Amino acid sequence: MTIKEFKQLTEEISSHYLNFKLEEYQKKYWYDGLKKYDLEDVRDNFKLHLKGEFSYKEPTLNWLVHHLRTPEQKELAKKGWTNCRKCGQEFSVDELDKWERCERKCSIYNYIERKSQQFGINIAEIMGEDIYKIGLGELDKRYDRFLLEVVRQEQKQQKLTQDEKEALRNMIKKGVINWQN
């Protein structure tokens, strides 16, 4: 996606959501997240959003790129390969379970890095040393402790978006997060 296409997309979103305005730092972040995808693919996701149950809310960047593939990833798929959208590790179509685990781990790592910077959380103190070398099961247990710390810090600093607060509340209510760890 080019900068011109990015501007077209944000104008299109603004035409549906009058309060949709991106600050300069948000524009850079959004463009960095969208530039590797084709405009038409992102537009298709936006159209799905407009028809979905959360259409009353502005779309998030994550929603716009959910399940999208870059042109390079599309080429790999044609050859019977796929790769993790975060770290780029390649998997054959016979290894989709490994691919799903890799995507999950990379998403957790990404969230941990972003929130630890946002709240000034010491990752090693909460998660232990080198979380990149542990299995997914152990990572999930440690991730619960990290989310608990995010909730604690949010009560002090008030830095999460409304959607993030809502997501954490739902995870707590549904018992998705094991607070005993």
Query: Same structural domain for residues 103 and 168?
Result: yes
Query: What digits encode the pLDDT tens for the residues 40-99?
Result: 999 999 999 998 888 889 999 988 998 888 898 888 888 888 888 778 888 887 888 888
Residue 178 pLDDT > 80, yes or no? no
If one compares 140 and 14, the residue with the highest pLDDT of the two is 14
- Residue 78 is assigned to a structural domain of this protein: no
Query: What digits encode the pLDDT tens for the residues 124-157?
Result: 888 887 888 888 788 888 888 898 899 889 989 9
- Residue 82 is assigned to a structural domain of this protein: no
Examine the fold and report which residue of 68, 84, 116 is the final residue of a domain before the chain moves on.
Answer: 68
Which of 9-13, 67-71, 111-115 is predicted most confidently? 9-13
**CATH number for position 36:** 1.10.8
- Residue 86 is assigned to a structural domain of this protein: no
The DSSP-derived string for 82-112 is: EE-TTT--EEEGGGHHHHHHHHHHHHHHHHH
Average pLDDT for 97-115 = 88
Q: How far apart are CA 110 and CA 108, in angstroms?
A: 5
The boundaries of the domain holding residue 175 are 95-181
In DSSP terms, 81 is beta-bridged to 92
Residue 32 pLDDT > 70, yes or no? yes
**Residue type at 118 in one-letter notation:** Q
pLDDT at 179: 57
Average pLDDT for 20-32 = 93
- Residue 16 is assigned to a structural domain of this protein: yes
What does pTM read for this prediction? 0.57
User: What's the number of domains the chain is made of?
Assistant: 2
Exposed (0-12), middle (13-18) or buried (19+): which is 11, by Cβ within 10 Å?
exposed
Could you tell me if 123 and 131 are in contact, meaning their C-beta atoms sit under 8 angstroms apart? yes
